[in-house]
Structure 1
Amino acid sequence: MMAQPSLLLLAAAVVLSLSLCDAHNKLAKKSDDVVNGPLLTSKLNAKRTLIVGPNDEFKTIQSAIDAVPEGNTEWVVVHLRAGVYAEKVVIPETKPFIFVRGNGKGRTSISYESASPHNTESATFAVHADNVVVFGISFRNAARAGLPNNPEIRTVATMVSGDKVAFYHCAFYSPHHTLFDSTGRHYYESCYIQGNIDFIFGGGQSIFPCAEIFVYLGRANEAYSRVVFADTYLSKTVNPAGWTNYNFSGSTEHVMLGEFNCTGPGADASQRVPWSRRLDQAEAAKFLTVDFINGKDWLPAFYY
């Protein structure tokens, strides 16, 4: 994972753990094999597949989501053909147990120009339901140039407020407030996340194994901000201070912005801000497995 200071990761109420993907990482696996293979199929036991494409029954993603019954209790696969879907998609709270499957983040994209003073209203793709799995899709807020320069405008690519939501091999793009990790336990494996300001933010409890992001590590935005970088390669472009409190003027006494077992020239902690932390093995352990999000109880691709 390469970190660059030109972009900023927001550390507000969000609790997240990031880790390097390598052969020794327990969270590292071939998600495409799992998602497309018999293991996930048997775990989800999906009995219905809705196919979205120009020559299929459903021409839009939202129409397929709308076809899932209210109060759904069985897994439904919504399969997206390759292509760019220019629409805004919402999975409402009343429609859990949906598996949205694309053909790969380089082949299936949901792109929509949406800007609003409110994060929820601006989101291109919003998940409010529990128990949702997403695989192989790029999400983009295509807001026109200049809008992100207005601090009152949000251009969210994806918002997640449901519990037990997992993304595999997805990408998220927006110039401003890219991924609104609002509330709930979430899992983003092998995902690419790009933005300019506050591009991962919210109050979710989430882990990002094998993620590729470009960050100025993060900032203290609230009194109990928590972010951990673990087993991560940090390039020389990381600001030596590592972290910033930006416009936050409150106490940093309870802020926990930490690093564990990071390598690379950007991991030099000699000039870090005094309220950041270097974690030992015992302190970092609780952030480094899917137990942090109770993943063994709900991650459908969990097999270790």
Structure 2
Amino acid sequence: MAGLPVALAAAGALAYGTAFGLFGEDARTTAGAAAPAWAEEAADGFASVDALGQKGTYGGRGGPVVTVRTLADLEKYATAPGPHVIVVAGAIPVNPVGKEIKVASDKTIIGSGTSGHIVGGGFFLGPGVHNVIIRNLTIRDTYQGVWNDKDHDFDAVQMDGAHHVWIDHNDLRHMADGLIDSRKDTSYVTVSWNRLGNNNKTFGIGWTENTTADLTIHHNWFRETEQRNPSTDNAAHAHLYNNYLQDDPGTAVTSAYGNYARGRTAMVLENSYFQGLTNPVIKDATASLVQRGNVFSGTRGRNESGGTGFDPRRFYPYTLDAAADVPAIVTAGAGPRSALGTPRAAATRTLTVAKDGSGQFTSVQKAVDAVPAGNSSRVVIQVKPGTYREAVKVPSNKPHVTLQGMGASRKDTVLVEGRASGTPRPDGSGTYGTGGSATLAVEADDFQARNLTVANDFDEARNQHLTGHQAVALRTAADRVLLDALIISGDQDTLLLDTAAKDRPGRVRLTNSYVIGNVDFVFGRATAVIDRSVLTLKKRWDGTSAGYVTAPSTPAGRKGFLITRSTVNGDVTAGSFFLGRPWHAGGDATLDPQTTVRDSVLSAAVRPAPWTDMGGFSWKDDRFAEYRNTGPGAGPAGADRPHLTDAQAADQEIADWLGDWTPAAG
């Protein structure tokens, strides 16, 4: 296909996107509908044991499923009588910071896909509270600036005298006190598949003179945590297995110790992996600690055991993973999962496009035309390999459409057209304009595209006589648009991320993709996340190197562009490209353009002062910033290169951009 640079020969090596969960219903119950599988799941380990009148831990199973997006609704249902399955959709800020949300018995609180965040607070399970599942959430950011904080008891999950609790697949981090505190005879607890990080006092167990607590702790990833990993005091039975404890050298956090058994604790520690820790396993004289099959890599200091322990299989069955495999297994599997907390997918209808006539349609537009207006369930248009030279428009009355390339690579299925803003329309009604030049125009909500190349191969060199060389490959003017595993190729104005109107939302997530261009090649007023992608810089038609990656035109009070975990590179001259400039479309001074580039790799092509003015508007009056970028094009903070603080960065994460929407597969 014309216009694809040689550098894209390796594009197929970029991993295709994973599945994401659908966002839930508005805050209302869905009793009577078939419950998804995750709402029926029960705990393993000690939380599965029948005791204290409770038969295992299954949370709100059988109760109504309700989706919440506000703190008021979360508190309402968390304390409601009877079983409830509470789905947290989006980031919920907690006010005042440090507040611990009370949870009553028989509750499942679960994040919707990866979108469920509790920001600035946590949960409290008081005496007698039982049968609670806290799952698939990110709970973060009560930290008050004091590392060993003695004044703020702000935990992610605190349990005082509770029993039968399952804490599973969460991301717990950056709290003022503990990430998990299991206190005052709390028992029959399983803590599994969590990420615990960026914290001092991580996981404390005890605060009692009794020896009654039984806990299972498995497949958790402890990273950048100083102490209590966990610290286990007076536990009758503490079974720890297949956990990964990692202390990276040269970071701000150095471990004081790893697993700690004290008091009259009986601990069995099996097939865990300790990497780089100081004092990886310690015990006091009164505790019993039995080790089996653990791996210690680069550790130093105390590594202790002794006593008789117990046989966990007397209480429940379990299967051990090989300790050598634990780092790979746990890093891949711990933390929130996109498939959890999401409703059953509606039945889909499939249409097939093939150039050779072997499908239902020979053009993509004809398949789009066949989608019924106002359709309420997913329609997947499968496009067989080939080059389809056509302009395609998905109109606003046809939501829930997916374009799916069926080739082995995103390069196998190509949708391409070659018109620019100044190209005359065939009917003589003027030129196409920038928006009208798009090869693929998406005006319908809940659109998805996967495994395709979308290109505009307008030839600037041969069309210098035209006024208006903007040539859009892909234009979105809709909300909840997921673009995954694509190549989006052009020169000037490649990717227009817009909204249907200035006062309408337009959220886009682009992931695992390549975007190629030179001048303002990611632009518009949408709220867009570009994640795990490559922004490929391209020379201009005359062979010169000069350009701008982004030109946001964000309305005030909205989020603009977030580029995260991505790479900016290309075969261009060093120091020749800006990361962005403010586009005040039509001279609109009320706009507040925003681009944040964080946790990304910047090549030497990026200018040392990466932002610049546009159309008489200063970038310094708008919102442009970086955070924790690396590579030769990254640079220190300064007047011409603002960096976010840690606190500011905590409010500029993917969930903050997408709100109550979790991009979905299918």
TM-score range relative to shorter protein: 0.7 to 0.9
Q: Match for 2:17 among 31, 53, 76?
A: 31
**Is 1:287 the equivalent of 2:652?**
yes
Q: Structure 1 residues 269, 126: CA separation in 2 closer, same or farther (over 3 Å shift)?
A: same
Q: CA-to-partner distance for each residue in 1:61-113, whole Å, 9 max, x for gaps?
A: 01110000011111111000011111110000000011111133111110111
Q: Give 1:242 shift.
A: 1.2
Equivalent residues of 2:373, 2:398 under 8 A apart: yes
**Is 1:263 aligned to 2:630, yes or no?**
yes
| 2:583 aligned residue | 221
- Aligned residue runs from structure 1 range 158-169, under 5 A: 158-169=474-485
Secondary structure of residue in 2 paired with 1:77: strand
| CA distance in 2 between partners of 1:70 and 1:191 (Å) | 30
1:51 aligns with 2:352: yes
CA deviations 1:260-298 (Å, max 9, x no partner) are 01112221136x6x354210122122322233112x534
1:143 maps to amino acid:
F
Task: Work out whether 1:114 is the aligned partner of 2:419.
Answer: yes
Q: How does 1:88-127 map to 2 (within 5 A)?
A: 88-103=391-406, 104-117=409-422, 118-127=433-442
Measured in 2, the distance between the counterparts of 1:80 and 1:31 equals 18
Q: Output aligned runs, 1:1-304, within 5 Å.
A: 31=17, 43-53=344-354, 54=356, 55-103=358-406, 104-117=409-422, 118-146=433-461, 152-183=468-499, 184-213=506-535, 214=537, 215=549, 216-222=578-584, 224-245=592-613, 247-269=614-636, 274=639, 276-294=641-659, 296-301=660-665
The amino acid of 1:235's aligned partner reads S
In the alignment, the residues of structure 2 paired with residue 84 and residue 31 of structure 1 have an alpha-carbon distance, to the nearest angstrom, of 23
Unpaired runs of at least 5, structure 2: 1-13, 22-338, 423-432, 500-505, 538-548, 550-577, 585-590
The whole-number CA distance in structure 2 between the counterparts of 1:288 and 1:147 is 43
Q: Is the 8 A contact 1:230 1:288 kept in 2?
A: no
Going from structure 1 to structure 2, the CA distance change for 1:133 and 1:42 (only over 3 Å counts) comes to farther
The CA distance in 2 between the partners of 1:107 and 1:32, in whole Å, is 20
Change (3 A) 1:32 1:159: same
Aligned-residue Cα RMSD (Å) equals 2.7
Q: Deviations over 1:159-180 (max 9, x none)?
A: 0001000000001111211001
User: What TM-score do you get using the length of structure 1 for normalisation?
Assistant: 0.80
Q: TM-score, normalised by structure 2?
A: 0.38
- d(CA) in 2 for partners of 1:136 and 1:97? 17
Question: Is this contact kept in 1: 2:456–2:473, CA < 8 A?
Answer: yes
Quickly say closer, same or farther: Cα 1:81–1:34, change in 2 above 3 A.
farther
- For 1:206 and 1:176, the matched residues in 2 are separated by 19
Between 1:212-221 and 1:200-209, the stretch displaced more is: 212-221
Query: What is the DSSP-based 3-state SS (H/G/I as helix, E as strand, rest coil) of the residue aligned with 2:642?
Result: strand
CA distance in 1, matches of 2:434, 2:488: 15
Partner-residue secondary structure (3-state), 1:287:
coil
- Where 2:597 maps in the other structure, the secondary structure is strand
Number of matched pairs: 269
2:612 is matched by which residue type in structure 1?
T
Helix, strand or coil at the partner of 1:64: helix
The structure with the largest alpha-carbon Rg is: 2
- Name the CA distance, whole Å, in 1 between partners of 2:362 and 2:620: 52
2:445 alignment partner, SS class:
coil
Q: Would the aligned equivalents of 1:231 and 1:261 in 2 still touch at CA under 8 Å?
A: yes
Q: What amino acid maps onto 1:220 in structure 2?
A: P
Query: Using the alignment, how far apart are the partners of 1:253 and 1:237 within structure 2?
Result: 22
Unaligned regions of 5+ residues in structure 1, if any?
Answer: 1-27
Higher relative contact order (CA 8 A, sep 6+): 1
CA shift in 2, pair 1:148/1:285, >3 Å: farther
Measured in 1, the distance between the counterparts of 2:405 and 2:496 equals 21
Q: Hey, which of these two has a bigger chunk of helix by percent?
A: 1
Fraction of identical pairs, as percent: 29
Q: State the AA in 2 paired with 1:239.
A: R
In structure 2, what is the Cα distance between the partners aligned to 1:121 and 1:159?
Answer: 9
Shift of 1:252: 4.3
Cα distance in 1 for residues equivalent to 2:347 and 2:389? 27
Structure 1 residues 95-149: Cα deviation after superposition (integer angstroms, max 9, x where no partner)? 0011111133111110111122412210000000001111111101121232676
If each structure's strand is expressed as a fraction of its own residues, which one has the higher value? Answer: 2
In structure 2, do the counterparts of structure 1 residues 276 and 201 end up closer, same or farther at CA, with 3 Å as the change threshold? same
Query: CA offsets per residue over residues 173-196 of structure 1, 9 Å max, x none?
Result: 112110010120000001100112
Q: CA deviation at 1:34?
A: 6.6
* Matched-pair contact (CA < 8 Å) for 2:625–2:643: yes
* Structure 1 residue ranges (4+ consecutive) displaced by more than 4 angstroms after TM superposition: 32-35, 39-43, 147-151
Q: 1:113 to 1:293 in 2, by over 3 A?
A: same
Q: Which is further off, 143-152 or 117-126?
A: 143-152
- Could you tell me whether the CA contact under 8 Å between 2:419 and 2:456 is conserved in 1? yes
Is the 2:480–2:661 Cα contact (8 Å) retained in structure 1? no
3-state DSSP of counterpart to 2:651: helix
2: CA distance, partners of 1:194 / 1:130: 25
C-alpha distance in structure 1 between counterparts of 2:463 and 2:646, whole Å: 40
- In 1, the alpha carbon distance for the partners of 2:495 and 2:527 equals 13
Evaluate the alpha carbon distance shift between residue 148 and residue 172 of structure 1 in structure 2; reply closer, same or farther with a 3 A threshold.
farther
TM superposition shift of 1:152: 2.2
> Judging changes above 3 Å, is the alpha-carbon distance between structure 1 residues 66 and 226 closer, same or farther for their aligned structure 2 residues?
same
